[in-house]
Amino acid sequence: MTTSNNIKQLDKDYIAQTYGRFDLALSHGKGCDVWDFEGNRYLDFTSGIGVNSLGWTDDEWLQAVVNQAGKLQHTSNLFFTEPSSQLAKKLVEASGLKRAFFCNSGAEANEGAVKTARKYSHDKYGAGRSTVLTLVNSFHGRTISTLAATGQEVFHQHFHPFTDGFEYVPANEIEALKTRLNTNDVCGILVEVVQGEGGVCSLDNDYLQALQALCHEKDIVFIIDEVQTGIGRTGTMFSYQQFGLQPDIVSLAKGLGGGLPIGSFLLGEKVENTLGKSDHGSTFGGNPVACAGANVVVDKINADFLAEVQRKGQSLQATLAALPKVKSVSGLGLMLGVEFEDGVLASDIVAKCIAKGVLFLTAKSKLRLLPPLIISDEQIAHGMQVLKEVLESE
């Protein structure tokens, strides 16, 4: 019989040891509950890092995925397929952009976004206008180019040289951005509306508006990385919608597939035809099974569903702010970060909550909450009770 210890041993012996895993081997899950191999149950505030937006094994999602796997599991992009075409229509209608490209991960989506910005500029202005600006403390992926786009030194050790043409500007400082744009060498600006891995830090509305205006004025491609914030996570389908923004490119991944690997970048009017035949591609991109799952996710996240995400997010935020040892709460919707008073380590709190059957994440020095979007009020109340007990005993 399989035990958690067998699995941990196999991992230790045979898997590249790149992850600091929680001391937990998971067996199966339903909704917001997941079980280990010994039958212990855990309440989930992680969603597989913002991926399982409908929780574990949602019935409709499962049926769509299983049905599609029994029809066509993969075709290559030499053929037209139904799930990807339908998904593209839904994403275009929900976003106000014009077209979708499908890939398999957030990093790949950002790579495609950067390629598009560079080609747009090259087609129109020729060589030498290829710099992409990102923000200090951003996170855009783990490939050599998306690491170059990531404005956190901690990720840059050991892996030089990186792709040229990325520079960082400080978040929420519009004068610094204006100064940087004095030379005409920037083709794109890539930002997260809420920096997830950076510690759940939101950008200011004024900054976002000024940034968009500068992009328009200077014909710079405005790219929003919605890999973590997108698909309902923050209480609207895309987080930029809460700020009335109209980006030229939007990258997506995590929550889109409801648990299957899928990424996408959406192209607005300015760049909808920038990539032509054979300019970009991905063998697995638009996989019918992943897209069948994503269609269910996007269908379920309607206006009523989003109103519930907003309501639950606000109540969770208020509850968190009133807990002992909490200094501040940040984030939007069901993407929240908690800063503790000095001396309280988020990683310790997470370990103690696991022992009491509740799963949370960290982001830098904060506790991070990314529960399945379907979490109930009762489940939130239970999770908060456990967190309160742990904090009281600190």
Give the residues lining the site for ligand PLP (CB under 6 A): 105-107, 110, 139-141, 192, 196-197, 225, 227-228, 253-254
Name the residue nearer to ligand PLP (CB basis): 110 or 379: 110
Shortest approach of ligand PLP to residue 227 CB, angstroms? Answer: 4
Name the residue nearer to ligand PLP (CB basis): 18 or 393: 18
- 228 is annotated as contributing to ligand binding: yes
Length of the chain: 394
Shortest approach of ligand PLP to residue 245 CB, angstroms? Answer: 16
Amino acid at 228: Q
Name the residue nearer to ligand PLP (CB basis): 107 or 221: 107
Name the residue nearer to ligand PLP (CB basis): 118 or 233: 233
Q: How far apart are CA 90 and CA 230, in angstroms?
A: 14
For residue 331, the cross-strand partners are 336
Cα distances from 114 to residues 22, 146, 152, in angstroms, run: 34, 9, 18
Shortest approach of ligand PLP to residue 83 CB, angstroms? Answer: 20
The per-type count for the chain, helices as H runs and strands as E runs, is 12, 17
- 163 is annotated as contributing to ligand binding: no
Pairing status of strand 335-340 against strand 26-30: unpaired
- 94 is annotated as contributing to ligand binding: no
Q: How far apart are CA 32 and CA 10, in angstroms?
A: 27
Closest CA to 141 of 169, 102, 113, 172: 113
- 226 is annotated as contributing to ligand binding: yes
Name the residue nearer to ligand PLP (CB basis): 234 or 379: 234
Shortest approach of ligand PLP to residue 152 CB, angstroms? Answer: 12
Name the residue nearer to ligand PLP (CB basis): 102 or 326: 102
Pairing status of strand 249-252 against strand 361-363: unpaired
Shortest approach of ligand PLP to residue 136 CB, angstroms? Answer: 14
The gap between the terminal CA atoms of the chain, to the nearest Å, is 38
What lies within 8 Å, CB to CB, of 211 at 6+ separation is: 174, 177, 189, 191, 222
Q: Which residue is nearest to ligand PLP (CB)?
A: 106
Shortest approach of ligand PLP to residue 18 CB, angstroms? Answer: 13
- 196 is annotated as contributing to ligand binding: no
Output phi, psi for 44, to 5 deg.
Answer: -100, 120
- 317 is annotated as contributing to ligand binding: no
| Known binding residues | 106-107, 139, 142, 225-228, 282-283
| Known binding residues for N(2)-acetyl-L-ornithine | 142, 282
